[in-house]
A and B are shown apart, each in its own frame.
Chain A
Amino acid sequence: MTAVTTDVAGADTRRAGRWVYVSAVGLLCAWVLVPLYFLLINTLSSPETVNSFPKPFIPEFDLGSLTFFANFAGMLTALKNSILVAGLTMIMSIVIGAPAGYALSRFDFRGKELFRLLILLTRAFPLPLLALPLAVMFIQTGLDDTVFGLALVHTTLAIPFAVLITFALFSGIPLELEEAAWTLGCTRLTAFSKVVLPLILPGITASAIFAFVISWNEVFAAAVLTIENRTLTAFLLQNLDTSPLHLKFAGGFILVMPALIFIFAVRKYLFAMWGIASR
C-alpha cells in the first residue's frame, strides 16, 4: 500500500517537475524572443505607427522602412565586404588562436601566465583609442582600406575568445586519451587530429561564431579603416542613432538579421558533436 502511494506521489512530483521544467524553458525562450518581436513590429510599421501610442502588438506589414534600405545605393557591396571581413576574421582567429589554446592547456612553460595576461589585456582596452595608431600604421603600409586589413584588426578582437575557449575545451579533454593514442603508435600530430580534434569541434565552432559576430558588429575600426570597401555597419548603420525612429528600427533589424542567419546555419556544427566525449 505504502509503496503504491509513494509511487503515485513520486510520479506526481515528477510530472510537476517536468511541468516546471518545460515552462521554464518556454519562459526563457520568450525572454529572448519577445524583445526581438518588438523590433520586428517596429520594423514593419509605418512611421506614424512607430510614433503612436499605445503600440500595436501585431505587425502591420508596412515595408516602407525596409524598402528604403533596399534602395540604398551600395548596400550589396557593403554586405559583401562585411561577409568577407567576418569570414577572414573567423578563419584567422581560429588558425592562429587554437594552437595557443592547446599549448595553454597541455604544457607548463615559462611565461605562461604572462602570455595569458597578454591575451586578456587585448580585450580589456578600448579599440577606439587604439584605432588612431593602427590607422597610421595601415596607411603607411598600404593595408589601409582593405578587407584584409580590417580583418586583421577584427582578428585581434576575436583572438582572446578563440584562445580562451579552445583552452577551456582542451582542458576538459583528458590527457590520457591522447596518451592512449600515443601508446597505440600515433604521433602527437595524428593523435591530435584523430582523437582531440573531433572532440573540440563544437568549441571551435563556438569560437568561430564569436569571431564572426564580433567582426560583424564592430563599427569603430570599420568606420576608420575602410573607405571604398566599407562594411555594412560602417556604411549604413553607424549613424542609426541619429536617424528617424522608423529607420532606426529597420536598420537595427537589418543589423541583427544576418548574424541570426549565420548562427542558425552553423548551429548544427556547434552541437552535433554533442556528448561525443561520453561515448
Chain B
Amino acid sequence: MTLHSRILGAASGAAIACTAFAAQAEVLFWSTQAKPVEEAQAMREQVLADAGDVDYQPNDGGPWLTRLQAELQAGSGTIGVLGALHGDFSAMNPDDLVDLDDLGVMSASGTFNDLAKLGTGSMQYIPWMQASYIMAASKEALQYLPEGADIDALTYDQLIQWAANAHEAAGEPKFGFPAGPKGLKHRFFQGYLYPSFTNGVVRTFASDEAVTAWEKMRELWAHTNPASTNFSFMQEQLLSGDAWIVFDHTSRLAQAFNERPDDFVAFPAPAGPTGRGFMPVLAGVAIPRTAPNMDAARALVEYMLKPETQIATLRATNFFPVVEVALPGDLPPSVKAAGDAVAKMSASADANPGLLPAGLGDKGGDFNRVFVDSFERIVLAGHDIRAVLDDQKGRLAAIMEETGAPCWAPDAPSDGACPVE
C-alpha cells in the first residue's frame, strides 16, 4: 500500500505542477481544419509563428466537440479560439459563442458575413477561409474526352460519356468519387447534382427532375471505380492511378497537384439542365464563452483575418482568403490549379451557385444523412428511385419543420420553413 500511496502522492503533485503550468497566457486554437499532419505543422510554423503564444491543436470532429461541450458544461475552459466549418458552428447554441461585431474585422463577402450570424443579429463567428469542390483529372484521361467537349464547360452527359470512354479504354472504371466514410459525397448531391438538375435542394428533393438526376448518378456510377465507397481523399487515387477523373474538395486534391503538377488538370464541375451547380466551403473562427483570456483570443481572431495571415493560410491549407488580398505569384501548384478552376466555375455563363445549408442547427448531420441514405439505397443497393425519394422525403420534411429553416439558394425563398414539394 505504501508504494501505491507514494505514486498517488507523486502523481497529484505532478498534477498541481501541470495545472499551474497551463495557466500561462497562451491561446489554445482548437480546430477541426488543417488536420493532416503536414498542414498542422505548416499552421504552427508558418501561419501562427508571429501570432504570439498560440497552441494550434487540430482534432477529429468527435474529440473536438466533446472537449468543447465539456468546457461549456463545466463553465470554465482552456480553449481560446475555435476553428471549424460553418456547419459545425451552426450546430452550436449561439449563446455559447461570444459576439464578435465589435472586433471590426469581417470577410469581404456579405453572404458569408450573414451566414456567420447564425440567425442572430450579430456575428457569432468570423469567416476565416473558403474553398470549394472541383473536378480533377489525370492528363492521361484527356485523350478520351468526348468529341467536341470543352473540359472547362462540361455537361453531366459529357462527363458520363468521358468516364465511359475511359472505362472502355482502361478496361476498368476510372471515375473516382469520395463515397468513403470520411468522404464529402453529400456535398456533391446537395451543391452540385441537385442544383444542376432541379435548381433546388429541399423544395425539389423528390421532384421528377430529381429522379432524372439520380438516374444520371447511376449512369456515372457504372463507370466509377467500385472501391469509391472506401475513398475519402481523391488525391490518393489520382496519384496511384486508381482513378483518372475525380470530384472532391480543393484541399483534398492538393497533394496530387503539389507532388506531380504536370500530370493533372483541375476543371469546373459539370452543368446540367438547370445550370452549373456548385457550392462553397466556409470555415470560421469563433470564441467560446468560456475562453480563459478574451483579449488574447480576440487578438488571435483579428490576426487570422490579416491579409498576410490569409495568404500564409492559403499556402498551408489550400483554403482561399475571405478578405481582399492581392495573391502573390509564387503560390503552390495546387493553389493555382484549384483557384483557376473555381474562377472558371463562378465566371461560367450557366453558373448556378448554391449556398451552404443555414438554419439547420444541430440537424445538419440528419440533413446530410438524408442524401447519403438516398445514395446508398438508390445507387449502391439499386432500389427504385421514386420509392426511395418518397420515403426519404418524409425525413427531410420533418427536419425542415423541426428546425424551421427557410430555403437557401438555389431554392426559391420561403416564408418560414422550407417546404419539400
Decide if A and B touch, CB cutoff 8 A. Answer: yes
Do A140 and B74 have beta carbons less than 8 Å apart?
A: yes
Flag whether A199 is at the interface (Cβ < 8 A).
no
Q: Which of A107-115, A168-176, A237-245 contacts B (4 or more CB under 8 A)?
A: A237-245
Check B28 against A227 for contact (C-beta < 8 Å): yes
B37 and A236 contacting across the interface, CB-CB below 8 Å: yes
CB-defined contacts of A148 to chain B, threshold 8 Å: 11-12, 14-15
Our pick among A88, A131, A145 for the contact of B66 (Cβ within 8 Å) is A131
Which of B16, B45, B239 gathers the greatest number of chain A CB atoms within 10 Å? Answer: B239
**Cβ contacts under 8 Å, A243 to chain B:** 35-38
B41 contact set on A, CB distance < 8 A: 68, 72-73
Q: Considering residues B15, B45, B240, which has the most beta carbons from chain A within 10 angstroms of its beta carbon? A: B15
Docked-complex contact A224 and B241, CB < 8 angstroms: no
Q: Which chain A residues border B40 with CB–CB below 8 Å?
A: 239
Residues of B within 8 Å of A52, CB to CB, are 240
Asked if A251 and B37 make an inter-chain contact with CB atoms under 8 angstroms apart, the answer reads: yes
Q: Which of B56-64, B119-127, B159-167, B352-360 contacts A (4 or more CB under 8 A)?
A: B56-64
Are A220's CB and B22's CB within 8 A? no
A228 touching B22 in the complex, CB below 8 Å, given contacts A53-B240, A135-B67: yes
Is the Cβ of A73 less than 8 Å from the Cβ of B44? yes
B71 contact set on A, CB distance < 8 A: 135, 139
A228 touches B76 (CB 8 A): no
B235 touches A244 (CB 8 A): yes
In the complex, which of the residues B14, B35, B36, B232 contacts A146, with contact meaning CB atoms closer than 8 Å? Answer: B14
- CB neighbours (8 Å) of B28 from chain A are 227
Nearest neighbor of A236 in chain B, beta-carbon distance: B37
In Å, the complex CA distance between A241 and B16 comes to 35
The reply to whether the CB of B101 lies closer than 8 angstroms to some CB of chain A is no
Shortest CB-to-CB span from B123 to chain A, Å, is: 26
**Chain A interface extent, by class:** 35 or more
- A142 to B57 alpha-carbon distance, docked (Å): 21
Please tell me if the beta carbons of A245 and B236 are within 8 angstroms of each other in the complex.
yes
Chain A 236-267 against B: per-residue CB contact (8 Å), 1 yes, 0 no?
10111111110100010000000000000000
User: Which residues of B, 58-106, contact A by the 8 Å Cβ criterion?
Assistant: 58-60, 62-63, 66-67, 69-71, 73-74, 76-78
Q: In the complex where A239-B37, A239-B40 touch, is A47 in contact with B259 (Cβ < 8 A)?
A: yes
Complex contact A149–B15 (CB within 8 A): yes
Bound Cα distance from A142 to B36, whole angstroms = 31
Which A-chain residue is minimally distant from B60 (CB atoms)? Answer: A238
Q: A88-B11, A228-B55 are in contact. Are A51 and B239 (CB under 8 A)?
A: yes
A91:B7 contact, CB within 8 angstroms: yes
Choose from A234, A238, A247 the contact partner of B38 (Cβ within 8 Å).
Answer: A247
- Which chain A positions have C-beta within 8 A of B11? 88, 147-148, 151
Please, which residue of chain A has its CB at the minimum distance from the CB of B45? A73
Query: Which residues on A are within 8 Å of B, measured CB to CB?
Result: 47-48, 51-53, 68-69, 72-73, 88, 91-92, 95, 128, 131-132, 135-136, 139-140, 142-149, 151, 219-220, 223-224, 227-230, 234, 236, 238-245, 247, 251
Q: What are 5 A-B interface contacts by the 8 Å CB criterion?
A: A136-B70, A146-B19, A219-B63, A224-B70, A227-B78
Point out residues on B near A: beta carbons under 8 Å.
3-4, 7, 11-12, 14-16, 18-19, 21-22, 28, 35-38, 40-41, 44-45, 55, 57-60, 62-63, 66-67, 69-71, 73-74, 76-78, 182, 232-233, 235-236, 239-241, 255, 259
